Amino acid sequence: MALINWLEKKLTISHGDNPSLLSMEGLRGIAVFLVFWVHYSALVKPWVHDSVVPFSEFILEMGHLGVDLFFVLSGYLIYGSIITKSAFRTGAYVQRRIIRIYPTFLVVLAVYVLLSFLFPAESKFPDGFSAAIVYFLQNLALLPGLFDIDPIITVAWSLSYEVFYYLVIPCIIFALRLKSWKSDHRIILWAIVAAIGFIYFYLNGGPIRLMMFIAGILLFELFVNRQVSLEKWGTTFLAIALLIFGLRSVYTFSYPLSVLAVFILFLLLCLCAFNPKSKAYRWLTFKPLRWLGNMSYSYYLIHGLALKFLFLVFGKLAPDGFTSFGLYFWFWIPAFAATLVVSFFLFWIIELPLSLTRKPK
């Protein structure tokens, strides 16, 4: 009981009287759990019986939506923090974003760099000192993702999307003086931007997942400014979104149209999830799920490394040619537990004191 109370103290974040942010913690927990399944499914595959592979690939495809859900929530929070404030201090805004991203990222990056030297066969660094330095600086600047650069930390590609949004959205808000617009007019604007964006990416390709930030913007305008919410079907919206992407492992259909469907479904999901009267809100505010959501950034950055180490050990212990039908369905439990332990220590030692309790000057 003492341990549970201690964990609750460390993993609980105060949001005042804002109930929607409690379910947002749960949504983050769902998002990072989905990401876990991407890497678990990929790494366990060599030991999975052929009959299980189609199912594991279905789950892997579903898991990709975890990042998209993160983008929706970031779109909501960052846009809302700017559009509602009477004064915007650029220095403080930049400092908050740096404090939020870099302490945990730098620690994990340092671990990856160290391991690259210890295990050169696993290293992503190019040959040559100058090329290696440039590659390191590109990763330090969070360029992999939007740019065709292989990230040192596999999942860090998404941070380039986040940083791009952080930089662009205040410029748009102040260039167009959106604070002076009526909410209805802003909703029309962002709906038009979304339509144009999807048409462009459908015809030309590109980083279409940036559109999920616009879903977050529309979510803020609808839920906060227009008081729009839903009471039913939240869990169903999530299930349909997951099913659409899972089926991509079986059927070939348009990726942009799949993303458009998820754009709409995640917007509807959050409109329901943020409503305290909905069933989705009740299960999303389950404490352990919220705790996972609160340490989701640390988990997101380090869990892949923990899984990689676990499967390296497993590969040394497993007999040559070993495959199993049941392994996929039970080994995820100790694997997930291992990632939770490693992630919590990163959260407790680095993220909590340096990013969550530290305030910008």
Question: Are the CB atoms for 106 and 142 separated by under 8 Å?
Answer: no
Q: What is the pLDDT of residue 17?
A: 72
Q: Is-contact 46 244, C-beta < 8 A?
A: no
Query: Which of 1-15, 119-133, 250-264, 268-282 bottoms out in mean pLDDT, i.e. has the lowest?
Result: 1-15
Question: Which range has the worst mean pLDDT, 57-71, 86-100, 135-149, 346-360?
Answer: 346-360
- Does the pLDDT of residue 18 top 90, yes or no? no
Distance between CA atoms of residues 251 and 115, nearest Å: 39
By C-alpha distance, which of 340, 271, 244 is closest to 11? 340
Q: What is the mean pLDDT of residues 303-313?
A: 96
Query: Given a cut of 90, is residue 15 above it in pLDDT?
Result: no
What is the spatial distance between Cα 253 and Cα 222, in angstroms, rounded to a whole number? 30
Q: What pLDDT, in 10s, does the model give residues 247-266?
A: 999 998 899 999 999 999 99
* Per-residue confidence band for 14, with pLDDT thresholds at 50, 70 and 90: confident
Query: Residue 236 above 90 pLDDT?
Result: yes
Confidence of residue 3 (pLDDT cuts 50, 70, 90): confident
Contact 189/221 with Cβ under 8 angstroms? no
pLDDT of residue 9: 87
The mean pLDDT value of the chain amounts to: 95
Share of the chain above pLDDT 90, in %: 89
pLDDT digits (tens, 9 = 90+) for 159-181: 999 999 999 999 999 999 999 99
State pLDDT tens for residues 45-60.
999 999 999 999 999 9
State yes or no: pLDDT of 359 exceeds 70. Answer: no
How far apart CA 194 and CA 175 sit, in angstroms, is 18
CA-to-CA distance for 192 and 176, rounded, in angstroms? Answer: 15
**Span between the terminal Cα atoms of the chain, in Å:** 38
Q: How many CB atoms lie within 10 A of CB 329?
A: 13
Average pLDDT value for residue range 294-318: 96
**What does the domain layout of the chain look like in residue ranges?**
17-356
Give the pLDDT band of residue 195 (cuts 50, 70, 90). Answer: very high
Integer angstrom CA distances of residue 322 from 54, 139, 168, 329, 336: 18, 37, 50, 16, 22
How is residue 288 written in tokens? 């352990």
* Residue-level pLDDT at 358: 67
For residue 190, CA distances in Å to 168, 215, 271, 341 come to: 14, 9, 17, 41
